[in-house]
Structure formats: C-alpha cells, structure tokens
Amino acid sequence: MTQKHRGNKGKIRIVNKVRFTIFVALLLAFTIPFINRPVKGQLADTAVSSFKEVHIETGDTLWAIARANLPPKTDIRDFIHEIKEVNKLDSALIMEGDYLMIPVNP
C-alpha cells in the first residue's frame, strides 16, 4: 500500500454528486410511502377525522357510552378498545366528572 492511500482507508468518497443525489432521491421516493402504512391488526379501515368530547355523568359506563356513539358496522368491543387507546385508559373504569374523547367517523 502506498503512502497516499493509507489515509482513505474505510472512507467513502462520492465521485459523481449528481448520480449520488439521484440515488438518494429515488431511495427516499421508494421508502417514504411504506413508513405511514398501517401494520396488520391496526384499525386501518376507520378514518377518524375528529373527536367528540363526552362528559361522564353518574351511572355512565364505557360500554354505554360506546353503544350510544357506535359507528355503523363496527364491533362494539373494537370501538371500546379504540376509545381506551385514544384516552390512554388501562381499564374500562371511568370516573364521574371526567371527559372522554370519542372517535367520530366522517
């Protein structure tokens, strides 16, 4: 190995900047669409555009609130799970005076 090549060991040198720029642009163009794809098992078919705020009153249950706001052709258990995820609830226990954000489909 000659003296002038010792300093470049392990380094990558870009020979053609235009070709490198095109490569990076194509790489991003092909990978970005896959980043926001829903993972299998997520609720991909429900396009939630807004939320409805519900005030919890005495005697309210998560099941009753979900049933009253249930979108058509939706399993109530899936909807309750979605409400719990949106509101970061660990259980179905809700307290009087609190508010719940209910997903509303367009």
Q: How do the domains of the chain map onto residue ranges?
A: 50-104
Which residue stretches of the chain have pLDDT < 70?
1-9, 36-49, 106
CA 58 to chain CA centroid, Å, is 33
52-67 tens-digit pLDDT: 999 999 999 999 999 9
Give the H/E segment covering residue 9: none
> Tell me, which fold does domain 50-104 have in CATH?
Membrane-bound Lytic Murein Transglycosylase D; Chain A (3.10.350)
Q: Is the Cβ–Cβ distance between 49 and 106 less than 8 Å?
A: yes
Cα separation values, 82 from 1, 18, 26, 58, 97, Å: 64, 47, 37, 23, 21
Which pLDDT score, from 0 to 100, does residue 46 have?
52
Which pLDDT score, from 0 to 100, does residue 47 have?
53
Rounded to two decimals, the pTM is 0.54
